[in-house]
């Protein structure tokens, strides 16, 4: 199932996206209340082309993995990181497809980081890796936008990765997906920047959920970003960045300089 969140003439709703997404016959079927557990439907639906896709979930928190692909560690200067490194992005950084990423005035460079994201399906704490899948609603695509100058200046990552619009998510959540070996690619203005596979993660999704849930309770709708591969690079005013993950689709956002 592809779970989405839309804005229609009737308001905002969770939906199931059915049919080929780029086909005019694709429809968004309204889900009653929320998408967790076994969704029930209201009976209302809209052609997908007639609604606007929003970020597919409103997370209470976004937990991110740093340095989870060896080649990305090398391109960022190397180092030995035997344990997962986690940090948080505020939920106010979340935007949906087609919404502009706003580059802060004076921040340079600001990099894209294409990632597979995990959406939590139920409250959980101290989850063994072997049981991680029981707590997952599904998977979506994320862009961990990062102001590198602020990251270097501050010595930690909160400001650099926490700006409004710095966590594009979407276009929907896929619930029936094997995440172990998916093709991931990032393009800027149609030019390939990142290309890797999720099988190259240092810490797999089970290990990530075990590590994170040992620290904090995870709630339904929380999002975990699983790390970015090599090829991160700058975004400029007027760019368009697209991240494609096999089995999910493509998340596309324009880029603008804030205050223009």
What would the pLDDT profile of 89-109 be if each residue is shown by its tens digit? 999 999 999 999 999 998 999
pTM over 0.85, yes/no = yes
Q: Would you state the torsion angle of the CA atoms of residues 167, 169, 175, 181, taken in this order, to the nearest 10 degrees?
A: -70
Residue 6 CA to residue 75 CA, distance in Å, equals 38
- Average pLDDT in the chain: 95
Distances (CA, A) of 74 to 9, 34, 70, 192, 201: 48, 41, 6, 19, 14
- Burial environment of residue 56 by CB neighbours within 10 A (0 to 12, 13 to 18, 19 or more): buried
How far apart are the C-alpha atoms of 178 and 190, rounded to whole Å? 27
**Pairwise CA distance, residues 12 & 162, whole Å:** 25
pLDDT in tens, 129-187: 999 999 999 999 999 999 999 999 998 999 999 999 999 999 999 999 999 999 999 99
CB 225 within 8 A of CB 144: yes
Using CA atoms, how far apart are residues 174 and 191, in angstroms rounded to an integer?
A: 26
- What is residue 8's three-state secondary structure? strand
């Amino acid at each position: 199932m592809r779970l989405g969140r839309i804005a229609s003439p009737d308001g905002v709703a969770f939906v199931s996206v059915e049919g080929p997404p780029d086909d005019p016959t694709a429809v968004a079927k309204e889900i009653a209340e929320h998408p967790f557990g076994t969704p029930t439907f209201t009976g209302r639906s809209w052609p997908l082309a007639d609604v606007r896709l929003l970020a597919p979930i409103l997370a209470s928190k976004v937990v991110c993995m740093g340095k989870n692909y060896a080649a990305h560690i090398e391109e960022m200067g190397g180092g030995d990181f035997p344990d997962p490194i986690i940090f948080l992005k505020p939920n106010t950084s979340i935007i949906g497809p087609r919404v502009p990423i706003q580059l802060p005035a004076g921040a340079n460079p600001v990099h894209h980081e294409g990632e597979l994201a995990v959406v939590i399906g139920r409250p959980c704490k101290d989850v063994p890796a072997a049981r991680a899948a029981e707590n997952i609603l599904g998977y979506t695509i994320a862009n961990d936008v990062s102001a590198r100058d602020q990251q270097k200046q501050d010595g930690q990552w909160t400001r650099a990765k926490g700006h409004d619009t710095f966590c594009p998510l979407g276009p929907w959540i896929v619930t029936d997906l094997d995440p172990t070996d998916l093709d991931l690619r990032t393009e800027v203005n149609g030019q390939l920047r990142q290309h890797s596979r999720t099988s190259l993660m240092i810490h797999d999704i089970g290990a990530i959920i075990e590590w994170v849930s040992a620290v904090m309770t995870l709630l339904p709708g929380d999002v975990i970003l699983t790390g970015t591969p090599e090829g991160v690079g700058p975004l400029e005013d007027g760019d368009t960045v697209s991240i494609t993950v096999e089995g999910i689709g493509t998340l596309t956002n324009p880029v603008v300089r804030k205050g223009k």
